[in-house]
Structure 1
Amino acid sequence: MTAHPGPAARSGATRPQPVRMPRSQRRAQLLAAAQEVFVAQGYHAAAMDDIAERAGVSKPVLYQHFPGKLELYLALLDKHCDALVSRVREAMAATSDNKVRVAGAMQAYFDFVDGEGEAYRLVFESDLRNDPAVAERVERAERGCIEAVTETIMADTGVSRDRAELLAVALTGAAENAARFWLASARAVPKPDAIALVAALAWRGISNFPLADGRPDD
């Protein structure tokens, strides 16, 4: 019996082969494709087939880099959680002016939610938050941001760690919630104005704590 060629063979079409690229570049490409799929569909509805197709590679190529969907998702979480913590730490280290630091912390969260490809959804709105590995990463990011602010408050005011940490939780919580509300409201307030408003509110409270040398922080 003679085998009949399939539609692709009859038309002379062949599946395009993925362009060869360094492993790190391929990994970045796959992560970008996965982010688009996860944000659009959520973790549970997303399929490795969808991600491979979005990246323009075969599933074997995808599995060479990530053994499964969860590992791919966790790699994205690591990337974006680390980015958020870095933004907050950089805001704390960028200046010794605490008023500017407060504004910088607010901006870190606003920039994060306003960043590339709605990546903030993977951290703040994941449909996989009950998974222990996901929960651990999100909690680690939250703790990293809180710790960065806590250390700064302790160094400048001399208050105890417990009190500094409570203030840091309030500050980062306000930043996250305000930034997410701002985005959900279709950026009704211009971003610089939104940051300035929330920073001014936070500063009115935290500036009441004197510096360690007894001077008011004005």
Structure 2
Amino acid sequence: MTTSDIRPPATSGSAHGRRRRALILTQAAGLFAERGFHAVGMGDIGAAAGVTGPAIYRHFVNKHAILVGLFDQVAEQLLERARAIVDPVSAGTAIPAFGDTFGAQPRRDNTATLPRLVAAHVDFALAERSLIKVYAQEAHNLPDPARSRLRRVRRLYIQEFVDVVADLRPDLSDAQVRLLVHAAFGLMNSVADHDPGIPWEDTAELLRSAALRTLLGTVR
């Protein structure tokens, strides 16, 4: 499969077109999470999204293109959120106060940054359980160019956490920090496969606390 096989066809930039595309992705995520990628057909996705006949192909050339769209959505949203937290000025979410120097910036307080990174990931995992499940289970079905892009974006996202945790845990080696970061991701993403049956905010608080203890606790 080549890159041209997964490139989405040109669609109108109308609000209706964007909403329809988003709905297709949402319904596909639910179906892929429930049945698996290979057990779902384009007709199943179209029916779930209320898009009949060839109309779905105006948005996606095939099922692999939908999978690529889902993975791009997860990776890009998580990376954008992390960058906005770690460096809000560069991300365009904040501007220097009057009199600030545009050269050397004040040292970031990572004791405040890490809880915000963790909270953002937990919120996303809870809100997008189907997406997280598909992300974990279906990466091997991505075409090669998309898989390479996903690995690159994932490395960038992981590095945002690693840099912050390494600053707070100078007692650890780089390998130890990365191990803890991956462990925390596994913990936070566990809600994709397990519904604890307790209120959203209680679940979020438990996950945030557990992830922070994992990242900040003493390694023995």
TM-score, with structure 1 as normaliser:
0.67
**Partner in structure 1 of residue 203 of structure 2:** 190
Q: Which of 200, 210, 213 is 2:213 aligned to?
A: 200
Q: 2:41 matched to 1:47? A: yes
Q: What is the identity, as a one-letter code, of the residue corresponding to 1:169?
A: R
Q: Equivalent pairs: percent with the same residue?
A: 22
> What is the Cα deviation at residue 54 of structure 1?
0.9
Q: Over the residues paired in the alignment, what is the CA RMSD in angstroms?
A: 3.2
**Partner in structure 2 of residue 68 of structure 1:** 62
Q: 2:188 matched to 1:179? A: yes
Deviations 1:153-185 (A, max 9, x none): 67x58x8xxx65x45523430221111345545
Q: How does 1:160-171 map to 2 (within 5 A)?
A: 166=175, 169-171=178-180
CA distance in 2 between counterparts of 1:178 and 1:25 reads: 32
Deviations 1:102-139 (A, max 9, x none): 22232233223212352101211227357534532442
CA distance in 2 between counterparts of 1:118 and 1:66 reads: 20
Q: 2:144 matched to 1:132? A: yes
Partner SS, residue 133 of structure 2: helix
CA distance in 1 between counterparts of 2:159 and 2:61 reads: 33
Q: 2:140 matched to 1:146? A: no
Stretches of structure 2 that go unaligned for 5 or more consecutive residues are: 1-13, 89-106
Partner SS, residue 39 of structure 2: coil
**Partner in structure 2 of residue 29 of structure 1:** 23
TM-score, with structure 2 as normaliser:
0.67
Q: What is the identity, as a one-letter code, of the residue corresponding to 1:41?
A: R
CA distance in 1 between counterparts of 2:140 and 2:120 reads: 24
CA contact (8 A) 2:60 2:66 kept: yes
Q: 2:141 matched to 1:121? A: no
**Partner in structure 2 of residue 79 of structure 1:** 73
CA distance in 2 between counterparts of 1:200 and 1:107 reads: 13
**Partner in structure 2 of residue 8 of structure 1:** none
